[in-house]
Structure 1
């Protein structure tokens, strides 16, 4: 398997990909940034032990950082409803997103030869982590429907070309993992021949 193949189904509920050292480093760096970014929004002064235990946050307004706001969006257009919903769900959503990125980081760190072998649950965690990384990069790059045109006019030595390339590569990687998951689901739904 080469680094250009992305994720492939590997038996029942197993998905494998091979990454070059440079690809591992890029992925590690990005998932660590997501972990750190999400940690910036934690509650530091929740005095109510019950609220802390059940995950009710003291945050009732959206994050000021554009990337965090994209990762932890408003659920409703109405500000009152959105604030109330945020108080009850943001902590859990933030923890889930951090957990996905941590799963990705653990697999990358523990793979000495660049082979990543995921079970079904870890594959879903990777999908979530890759999606969050792409959302974050998309906000920083101000990705819109005409972003490909913007990429085409960038000078060959413009540092943003590399960031756009990573963004595109992550989309392809996510698609390969999703295709492997769908292929596995399709094979399970096929009737067995007797």
Structure 2
């Protein structure tokens, strides 16, 4: 089981992690929280009805990594030559973002916090490792957080398609991106094996 998730009887998943792996995942999850941003302000009204209709931002984030986590809902990947159509897409995206981004941020924040809390609850064994056991709900939260971490790292590495990923395997060891690439690929392996535990 080292380094890969395996299904648990009755649902959920387990993975053996050493101290270094625990530290890396936790550190990345904390950085993800910083990217996502803080939750509701402490001086919020506390009125759930008001919060339901609270509006979020209408402009896409300036940071390309955060923009990758919260992309425009209406966008032609090929780009549109028609300026009017482009403006309409921008307006629709702004409207969609205004009413959805706060909830999306809250969900991503909850997932990252679930990762941190589950790692903090681990008791390491004498060999410096531990077995992380997740319930089905925790597995889904981990899956969301792993996906977000890979999106963030992939954005920093400027990965846009499979060809870019193939190039990563051929990076020389002295390339400064190598540690980030190793984390990206390792998280991908964790994500893939976790997905397999959730399949019927």
Give me the CA root mean square deviation: 2.4
| Counterpart secondary structure, 1:19 | strand
CA change 1:33–1:88 in 2 (3 A) is: same
Contact 1:108-1:116 within 8 A present in 2 as well: yes
Equivalent residue, structure 2, for 1:157: 174
User: How many pairs were matched up?
Assistant: 180
Distance 1:116 1:15 in 2: 8
Greater CA deviation, 147-156 or 166-175? 147-156
Equivalent residue, structure 2, for 1:166: 183
More helix by share: 1
Match of 1:84 among 74, 95, 99: 95
Gaps of 5+ in 1: 186-194
**TM superposition outliers: structure 1 runs of 4+ over 3 Å:** 40-47, 49-52
Equivalent residue, structure 2, for 1:73: 71
Structure with greater contact order relative to length (CA < 8 Å, sep ≥ 6): 2
Equivalent residue, structure 1, for 2:193: 176
Q: How do 1:124-143 residues align onto structure 2 when only pairs under 5 Å count?
A: 124-143=140-159
Contact 1:55-1:91 within 8 A present in 2 as well: no
Gaps of 5+ in 2: 76-88, 125-129
Equivalent residue, structure 2, for 1:24: 22
Distance 2:181 2:48 in 1: 44
Distance 2:10 2:169 in 1: 41
